[in-house]
Structure 1
Amino acid sequence: MRTLEEVGNEECENKEKEGMTKSHYLMIFISSLLISITGGSLLGWWLHKYHPTNAQLWMVPFALILLFTPAIVSLSVIMSGPSIHKNDEEDVLNTNQRIHPLANSLCDPKR
């Protein structure tokens, strides 16, 4: 019979293997959408209230950053998706790099 500690460790390992679930992606999508909506609303408010007098110009770049940043981040994550490896440990173990001894090198402690 397994102990509670073994069961708890097994559950944690399974959750780590699962990675991000659909609910995580949904929360990220909703937060990105809210940030973009905030940026668009801020830009619309500036256009309605301050554009005729060209006052409060700091709001324009701030609103544009809020409006377009989630889209740019999403595109960069999607574009880099194929280049991300699933298991980095295997990549590290499978590299064929030679290890050179320190003898006669600049980092040799005997030098």
Structure 2
Amino acid sequence: MKPIKEVENGDYNENQRKITKTYMMILVFCLLISLFGGSLLGWWLHKYHSTNRQLWMVPFSLILFLTPLIIWFSLLISQLCISKSDEELEDGSHMSQLIQIHPKR
């Protein structure tokens, strides 16, 4: 994630703060789900692996363990790949700089 930028009056940019807060909430939620999936897999390994019972727990726990990590990683990579010009386009503040009117020849 990009660092939070300061605006002219010293306050933090609210949009960046909301994005950062959202990504951190997603990270915590993903980590909790992954911990639950890893714990479920460990419990299956301890209790049922020797008898090969309750095999449904293995793919279920692997899905719970890996999917949130993949989702958060993809969000992190996508945020890092957004260029500064793309952010300016989303704000709409620099749209006038991109539109140039050429006189007819």
Flag whether TM exceeds 0.5 (same fold): yes
Q: Distance in 2 between matches of 1:25 and 1:75?
A: 11
Report the residue type matching 1:58 in the other structure.
Answer: W
1:26 CA displacement: 3.1
Instruction: Report the secondary structure of 2:18's partner residue.
Output: coil
Q: Distance in 1 between matches of 2:79 and 2:17?
A: 15
Residue in structure 1 matched with residue 4 of structure 2 by the alignment? none
Aligned length: 81
Is 2:40–2:57's contact at 8 Å kept on the other side of the alignment? yes
Query: TM-score, normalization: structure 2?
Result: 0.58
Report the residue type matching 1:62 in the other structure.
Answer: F
Following TM superposition, where does structure 1 have runs of at least 4 consecutive aligned residues deviating by more than 6 angstroms?
Answer: none
Backbone CA RMSD of aligned residues: 2.9
Q: Distance in 1 between matches of 2:79 and 2:59?
A: 29
Looking at CA atoms only, which structure, 1 or 2, has the larger radius of gyration?
Answer: 1
Instruction: Provide Cα deviations, 1:60-108, integer angstroms capped at 9, x if missing partner.
Output: 01111111112211222222224433234578xx58xxxxxxxxxxxxx
Where structure 1 has 5 or more consecutive residues not aligned to the other structure, the ranges are 1-13, 96-111
Query: TM-score, normalization: structure 1?
Result: 0.56
Is 2:27–2:72's contact at 8 Å kept on the other side of the alignment? no
Q: Distance in 1 between matches of 2:72 and 2:37?
A: 16
Instruction: Report the secondary structure of 1:57's partner residue.
Output: coil
Report the residue type matching 1:54 in the other structure.
Answer: N
Residue in structure 2 matched with residue 76 of structure 1 by the alignment? 74
Check 1:79–1:36 CA distance in 2 against 1; reply closer, same or farther (3 A cut): same
Q: Distance in 2 between matches of 1:26 and 1:82?
A: 15
Check 1:76–1:23 CA distance in 2 against 1; reply closer, same or farther (3 A cut): closer
Residue in structure 2 matched with residue 55 of structure 1 by the alignment? 53
- The question of 1:41 aligning with 2:39 is answered yes
Report the residue type matching 1:35 in the other structure.
Answer: I
